[in-house]
Amino acid sequence: MLQTGKNKKILALTGVFLGIAMVALIVLFHTVIHKSQMLKAQEAVYNLLQVQLAIREYVHDTIRPEIYRLQDQGVMQADYFSPELMSRSYISREVLKTFLDLQGKEFSASIFRYASRSPLNLENQATAFEEQLLSKFENDEISEYCEEIVQNGQAALFYAVPLGRFDSSCLLCHSDPAIAPPSLVARYGDSHGFYRQEGQLSGLMSISIPLARFNAQCVKTSTVVAFLTALGFVAVYFMIRALLVKKDGQDLLLEQQNRELDRLSTTDPLTGLWNRLRFNHETPRYIAQAQSRKESLAMAVIDIDHFKKINDTFGHSIGDEVLKIFSAYLQEKCRKTDFLARLGGEEFVILTPAITKTELEHFCQRLLEGMIVVEYPHNLKLTASVGVALYQDGEDQSLFFSRADRAMYESKEKGRYCYTIAE
């Protein structure tokens, strides 16, 4: 788990960035995949229409000329006409219908259509929209038309291409009904599909196929790609998280080491009290705090009486033990807001904020009275000399300490085991 706020923020921002990037990439992939599937659908529709055009061309270039030849030779009746054999539209439509039926239910909903302004078969009469397309095809504004539509409540792809233009052979059936095969006129009548001109566009051919299969493939592919993309981004996220956790641990370890170094550098190793370095650092802060709050601040300098004799008589190990016990005693007497430090040797200092002179005197008295009941090795009785100074506006740390220190020496000159408040 991350511990530092900085690394938590970095990880949170990384998660947001990766999330946005992942969504954007998934959307991009989906768009590309959808476009690819639509191109496949267009290709399928285009191929179907090209097959239709090929069938029409085969009927026009091969079947019809052969029938006309047989008619000229008298093998077939001169007025013979059969759409099942001679109509390009009929034959190509039936072939496509058979093909689509063979493809199954998915393509059975496809709609194939011929459209003309004046068709022989009125089923092929152009709609208003098809009329617009015919005009654009005839004026060579477009060569094909393709768009996604909604057909019977489902997405479909609509594709349309122009048919060929009438030539002289086409006009045998589409010019004057008087010269058209009687069987054709008998089948379709003489009110429509005639009086066409050479070079005129015969019509258009369109097909619309359902996009369900292509959309399903798009969803399937997009789902797989989205899953793999998300998996990749999640892997990247956890890799970054692992690196940040590792860095977080290193940062915490470094912070702990720095705190420990700071503690060691500002703590007296024998007594565990703050040392002179920390005293020099904290005193200006206490002074600034007293000034801002308009409170008093006292400094008490304490020096153990005749400590050198203890070291000379019992040794430094006993002297160290005495210092530890005396330090613990001073800690008991200090308030939580007080600052206690060992300046060195047998000298200590206490910073006491928000205290009156009367309270300070009582504090010093209690401090001295309690000293003689503290138990030390070898039944030693320990006393100390105390010098106290109340902070005066305008003086710096050095002068403040100097006054308290001089007051302590005055206590020693008075005979020790007493306190003196600096004027």
Q: Is residue 331 part of a domain?
A: yes
Q: 189, 220, 251: which is the final residue of a domain?
A: 220
Q: Are residues 174 and 317 in the same domain?
A: no
Residue 176, pLDDT above cutoff 90? no
Q: Are residues 18 and 137 in the same domain?
A: yes
Residue type, 304: I
Q: Are residues 65 and 162 in the same domain?
A: yes
Q: What does the DSSP assignment read for 63-129? A: IHHHHHHHHHTTSS-TT---HHHH-HHHHHHHHHHHHHHHT-HHHHT-EEEEEBSS-SSGGGB--HH
C-alpha 395, offset from chain centre: 58
Just list the catalytic residues. 346
Q: Are residues 46 and 175 in the same domain?
A: yes
Q: Are residues 169 and 317 in the same domain?
A: no
Strand pairing report for 204-210 and 111-115: antiparallel
More confident residue, 164 or 136: 136
pLDDT digits (tens, 9 = 90+) for 4-48: 667 778 878 888 888 899 899 899 988 898 888 888 878 877 787
> What's the pLDDT at 114?
83
Residue 2, pLDDT above cutoff 60? no
Q: Is 338:379 a contact under the CB 8 Å cutoff?
A: no
pLDDT digits (tens, 9 = 90+) for 368-397: 999 999 999 999 999 999 999 999 998 999
Q: Most confidently modeled of 54-58, 120-124, 343-347?
A: 343-347
Q: Is 350:334 a contact under the CB 8 Å cutoff?
A: yes
Give the total number of structural domains in the chain: 2
Domain that holds residue 386: 276-421
Q: Is residue 193 part of a domain?
A: yes
Percent of the chain residues past pLDDT 70, beyond the cut: 93
Q: Is residue 253 part of a domain?
A: no
> What's the pLDDT at 39?
85
Q: Which residues does residue 362 pair with via DSSP β-bridges, in sequence order? A: none
Residue 1, pLDDT above cutoff 60? no
Q: Which of 282, 377, 366, 277 is nearest to 330 (CA)?
A: 366
> What's the pLDDT at 264?
66
Q: Summarize the confidence of residues 51-74 as an average pLDDT.
A: 79
For residues 188 and 4, give the distance between their C-alpha atoms in angstroms, rounded to a whole number. 88
For residues 313 and 212, give the distance between their C-alpha atoms in angstroms, rounded to a whole number. 104
Please state the φ and ψ torsions of residue 195, each to the nearest 5 degrees.
60, 35
pLDDT digits (tens, 9 = 90+) for 320-379: 999 999 999 999 999 999 999 999 999 999 999 999 999 999 999 999 999 999 999 999
More confident residue, 114 or 274: 274
Q: What is the pTM of this model?
A: 0.51
Q: Is residue 202 part of a domain?
A: yes
Decide: residue 44, CB within 10 A, 0-12 exposed, 13-18 middle, 19+ buried.
Answer: middle
> What's the pLDDT at 255?
76
Q: Are residues 186 and 280 in the same domain?
A: no
Q: Which CA distances in Å does 309 have to 13, 62, 242, 306, 337?
A: 66, 135, 61, 6, 34
Q: Which of 277, 299, 279 is nearest to 353 (CA)?
A: 299
